[in-house]
Structure 1
Amino acid sequence: MLLPMSSRNALFGLIILAALLLPGAASAQMVTFIKIIDGDSLLVEAGGRSMEVRLIGVDAPEFKQEYGLQAKEFSLKFCFGHKLRLEFDKELVDRYGRVLAYVHRGDKMLNREILEAGLAIAVRIKPNIRRYAAFKAAEQLAVGKKHGFWKQGGLRMTPAQWRKAHPQKRRD
């Protein structure tokens, strides 16, 4: 029996993640940056395999949405030329097969940094909610300092609203 494409992607993501986390894999969480997909998604390489990583707890504007390009550029500047460390929460892979992670470069975390820059909003998606309160505080800091899209009072539509208004076929 063939699995639906999204189930196959999720299974593939779990297999890659399991291989990375096997005992004896000394740098299991260390990955090499390949490219930015958008402000809250990136492509990395680990163990000879590339995988898409989706940032936990944040939703950045889509590429064609207002501030989408700025969010993508911010994430690119954060990641480019650096080794990254992935930190996981309870759910490891989403329904599209993307690895869900907090992305670190040294002592900085991309998830928090993009919120503080005012280029993403904090989102609470169970069960990965361990850092939600801190992310909401980072977002409020950006609002107070009028960083990013908060200088204009926020986005006209949240990224989720924008995706709903501009549906596109997801590549599975």
Structure 2
Amino acid sequence: MFNKKSKFFKPLAATILSVSLIGSSFTPFASSIANENIVAEAAAPKNAVTSKVTEVIDGDTIKVNFKGRTETVRMILVDTPETKDPKKCVQLYGPEASKFTKDSLLNKNVKLELGAQTRDKYGRILAYVYLNDKMFNKTLLEKGLARIAVYPPNTQYLDELKAAEATAKKKKVGIWSNKNATNGGCAPKPAPKPKPAPKPKPTPPKPKPQPKPKKFKNCTELRKVYPDGVPKGHPSYDPKMDRDKDGWACER
């Protein structure tokens, strides 16, 4: 009995062992593919150009050092609320978007993936911007600091970015948090700074008291000080001493 069973179980055991080995080798392989897909989705493409951000103009517009030249870059498929358009008011969440972009990108190295159309009518580079291998265009949408803006032929990643916008809407974050912001409403103007109180005018110095005119009893006393007498208007002039009324007192 045992020998017959032994002959039967040997091939069966071998089969079970083979299946077990195949299964154990398959699992890490599948996991490896999944990880590769995640990395590939997050990483910037190989043709992206590394550039340093030198200035942030707005939430969706930056200046970079691109191949040795200063270039303005407009992010593709996103539009942040306005802060600099002279024809529009400063919109709700515009300052927040600008600040977020400035805090995140200024003086940092980013990677630029240019669109199918590389420049717009203003000469700006059109690009997907990557920070630490994550697309910053998508981050703005996730934060509710931008909405989708489609300008063909630059529609790569449109479905992915639409999904990010839809999630932000569902969460009601940023511009999706109230109807006024969603409709592009204006941000309240900051209260004017109070004017500084006028400085008190300096008190003018008190005039020095003028010495009292010295009066003399007679011409003899006056001539001791003023030998030739004094004219009319002089502090020591006294009409009584001007006998001839010629406007000179005590003249000789």
Per the shorter chain, which TM-score range? 0.7 to 0.9
Which protein has greater RCO, CA pairs closer than 8 Å, 6+ apart?
A: 1
Q: Distance in 1 between matches of 2:170 and 2:183?
A: 19
Partner of 2:39: none
Partner of 1:71: 97
Instruction: State the Cα distance separating 1:144 from its structure 2 match.
Output: 0.9
Q: Structure 2: where are the runs of 5+ without partners?
A: 1-45, 84-89, 187-252
Aligned partner letter, 1:58: V
- Residue by residue over 1:22-74, the C-alpha shift from the partner in whole angstroms, topping out at 9 and shown as x without a partner, is xxxx9970101111100110000123210000000001100121111011011
Aligned partner letter, 1:41: T
Give percent identity, aligned residues only.
37
**Match for residue 134 of structure 2 among 108, 131, 143:** 108
Partner of 1:157: 183
With the length of structure 1 as denominator, give the TM-score of the two structures. 0.72
**Match for residue 146 of structure 1 among 172, 186, 193:** 172
**Match for residue 36 of structure 1 among 47, 56, 60:** 56
Partner of 2:115: 89
Q: Distance in 1 between matches of 2:64 and 2:169?
A: 31
**Match for residue 80 of structure 2 among 60, 74, 88:** 60
Provide closer, same or farther for how the CA distance between residues 28 and 149 of structure 1 changes in structure 2, counting only shifts above 3 A: closer
Q: Distance in 2 between matches of 1:107 and 1:28?
A: 10
Provide closer, same or farther for how the CA distance between residues 154 and 126 of structure 1 changes in structure 2, counting only shifts above 3 A: farther
Partner of 2:115: helix, strand, or coil?
Answer: coil
Partner of 1:88: helix, strand, or coil?
Answer: strand
TM-align CA RMSD: 2.1
Q: Distance in 2 between matches of 1:156 and 1:143?
A: 10
Check whether the contact 1:123–1:132 (CA below 8 A) recurs between aligned residues: no
Check whether the contact 1:31–1:46 (CA below 8 A) recurs between aligned residues: yes
Q: Distance in 2 between matches of 1:146 and 1:65?
A: 17
Q: Distance in 2 between matches of 1:46 and 1:75?
A: 18
Aligned partner letter, 1:126: P
Instruction: State the Cα distance separating 1:79 from its structure 2 match.
Output: 0.6
Provide closer, same or farther for how the CA distance between residues 154 and 111 of structure 1 changes in structure 2, counting only shifts above 3 A: farther
Aligned partner letter, 1:67: Y
Partner of 1:18: none
Q: Distance in 2 between matches of 1:60 and 1:84?
A: 19
Provide closer, same or farther for how the CA distance between residues 27 and 57 of structure 1 changes in structure 2, counting only shifts above 3 A: closer
